[in-house]
Structure 1
Amino acid sequence: MKTMILTLIFLFTASLNAAVVGSVSKVVGSVKVKSEGSFKKSKVKLSQEIKEGDLVTTSSKGMAVINLVDGSSVVLDKSSSIHFAANNSLEQTGGKVFYKITSRDAKNSLKIKTPFAIIGIKGTTFTVSAEKDNESVALKEGLVGIKSLKEEFKLYRKEMMAKYKSFVEDQMSEYEKFKKGLTDPKPELTKEFDLEAGNVVSFADNVVKESKFKEKMDAEFEAYEKMINESFEKAKEESEKMPSDDKSVVEH
């Protein structure tokens, strides 16, 4: 019993001393946070500080914008969760999240762990979907490195797929393709690869297929950007109303 009490005291003290990684600038619907060392989730409030070790989750109708201390922003879509392990290390355990990351040097590059890969970035704008039937990374700007958690990826680059499709369409009728039971070309086997701007990769176990960034994604990205901009404006307005000693809470 004594050991358990000491453990609880240690965990509580550690959570109080945890470094601040950002603050909440917008909350829609139900959003909760569980601090490291805590056994329950609490409701997230506007301007609330997010610390190392915090796990933030949104409900099926909830969304949140979190501004990181370096000026980056993270938008959690519905039914999503992120564990803020450290200032340069996040773990997205589910749902869809929009990342707008400011430029970082190699020493301070951000790593995001997902159920299907580890994503390393320096400065970029992208979404990660870790939904059950949709595991993917869509990159609008910048460059990200994607590393396998286990075995090698079977990577199908979009150029390879396009050339193969064009060749098949030029050379064979639909009946001939069906009769021969043609399959995809031989993939590139790799433990890690770079994803360039304007591309999307989808994951099915260790099979990765690259495609072009779709027009409908632009509207989605614009909606996330709008949420971030609105949250900044709101935070600015609230900051101007507050006494000067309290402004540090929202000015990250």
Structure 2
Amino acid sequence: MNSTKLAGILFVLSPFLFQSTLLAENFRARIVKVQGQVYVMNSEGEKRKPEKMQFLVNSDETVVTSKNSKAVLQFDDGAMSVLDQKSSLRVEQSGWLSQLGGKIYYVFRKVIGKQKPKKVRTKFATIGIRGTTFIVDADDNNQQVALQEGKLNIESPGDDYEIHKPADVADDFAAFKQQARQRQQALDDEFSNYKKDIGKEFVEYKKSFDLEANKVVSFNGSRVNETDLNKDWTSSFDGFADFSKDYIDAYKELDDFTDGNH
């Protein structure tokens, strides 16, 4: 990356970087873009609108978006998020983020050196993050995590998850053939019955699991269903990225530049 391009990136991020230098001990995030009605609520329940220096968000404060409203946040530890309408995100003292409701898009930089992995907490999961782009939908009737890039570790806040995935038929068939060497003549019919017996999905019970890129998990109590990222989710990622385009582009280019120098 040449110096002109880097200068352009830093120009976009400079208000946040400058404030973080002056007030690093007093705030955790900065609201850099607002659409509609957005407010910040402190631990006593007192609300304020983000304006002038009050665009800064401290630990133990919650950013809330109203109907038809959105907000873009930059965090002091390298994360960015975009809150959709009717969403709320609290910044914890621990450095974690707690998504209290709504739909939020996250972009986290790659973890470098001895930095600890970041976490996002919801009612249904604690999400461990390493250099990822993902969406969490935490409405009462819709609890999902969609991962576009990177990897997530998802841990249950209670009992083990009952994880349902599409079965890998090719692997099942290879295993069945090995078990049925003496029945080659009736292999096709036997395998057809075998598939009916095991069903068309794989089920396992775990306290935590890894989610790979281009996958979506839906939560219904302890039951988790994993599917592929579809067109609707791709459209959601594109919509969030478009709303925060200048900041996301500069952020990712700075991440690439940093990564290329380590």
**TM-score above 0.5, yes or no:** yes
Does the 8 Å CA contact 2:50/2:56 hold for their aligned counterparts?
no
For the residues of structure 2 that align with 1:199 and 1:162, how far apart are their CA atoms? 20
Which 10-residue stretch deviates more, 50-59 or 106-115? Answer: 106-115
**Alpha carbons 1:89, 1:112 under 8 Å: kept:** yes
Deviating more after overlay: 107-116 vs 136-145: 107-116
Measured after TM superposition, the shift of residue 193 of structure 1 is: 0.2
Match of 1:69 in 2: 76
Structure 1 equivalent of residue 133 of structure 2 = 125
Letter in 1 for 2:91: F
Residue correspondences, number: 206
Q: Give the Cα separation in 2 of the matches to 1:232 and 1:154.
A: 35
Shift of residue 39, structure 1, vs aligned partner = 3.3
Determine helix, strand or coil for the equivalent of 2:92: strand
Which deviates further from its counterpart, 200-209 or 98-107? 98-107
Q: Partners in 2 of 1:72 and 1:17 — Cα distance?
A: 15
Asked whether the equivalents of residues 82 and 240 of structure 2 are also in contact (C-alpha less than 8 Å), the reply is yes
* Distance in 2 between residues matched to 1:89 and 1:50, nearest whole Å: 14
Q: Deviations over 1:27-47 (max 9, x none)?
A: 1111111123x3321122366
Give the counterpart of 2:229 among 202, 213, 224.
213
Q: TM-score, normalised on structure 2?
A: 0.70
The alpha-carbon deviation at position 59 of structure 1 amounts to 0.8
Gaps of 5+ in 2: 1-22, 173-187, 250-262
1:80 Cα shift?
0.6
Q: Determine if the alignment matches structure 1 residue 39 to structure 2 residue 45.
A: yes
The residue that corresponds to 1:204 in the other structure is: 220
Show CA shifts across 1:162-201 (max 9, x none).
Answer: 999xx9xx959xxxx9xx9x97756200000000001000
State whether structure 2 residue 153 is matched by structure 1 residue 145: yes
CA distance in 2, matches of 1:97, 1:50: 17
Q: Which residue of 2 aligns with 1:114?
A: 122
Q: CA deviation at 1:216?
A: 2.4
Residues 188/45 of structure 1: CA separation in 2 closer, same or farther (3 Å cut): same
Query: What letter matches 1:220 in structure 2?
Result: S
Give 3-state SS (helix, strand or coil) of 1:226's partner.
helix
Q: Hey, what's the Cα distance between the residues in 1 that align with 2:52 and 2:209?
A: 38
Assess if the C-alpha contact under 8 Å between 1:126 and 1:137 holds in 2.
Answer: yes
1:113-159 CA-partner distances (Å, limit 9, x unpaired): 10101000021000000011110000000000000000000001234
Structure 1: segments with no counterpart, 5+ residues: 1-15, 234-252
SS across alignment from 1:88: coil
- Once residues 190 and 161 of structure 1 are traced to their aligned partners in structure 2, the CA distance between those partners, rounded to angstroms, is 22
Task: Check whether the contact 2:167–2:200 (CA below 8 A) recurs between aligned residues.
Answer: no
Cα distance change, pair 124–54 in 1 and its aligned pair in 2 (3 A): same
Off by >6 Å, runs of 4+ in structure 1 = 161-164
Q: Distance in 2 between matches of 1:129 and 1:200?
A: 11
Match of 1:220, SS state, is helix
Aligned counterparts, 1:50-61, within 5 A = 50-61=57-68
* Percent of aligned positions that are identical: 31
- RMSD over aligned CA atoms reads 3.0
Give the letter aligned to residue 144 of structure 2.
S
| Contact preservation (8 Å) 2:28, 2:57 | yes
C-alpha change, 1:143 and 1:186, in structure 2 (3 Å) is closer
Mean Cα displacement is larger for which, 74-83 or 45-54?
A: 45-54
Show the 5 A alignment for 1:150-229: 150-160=158-168, 171=192, 187-229=203-245
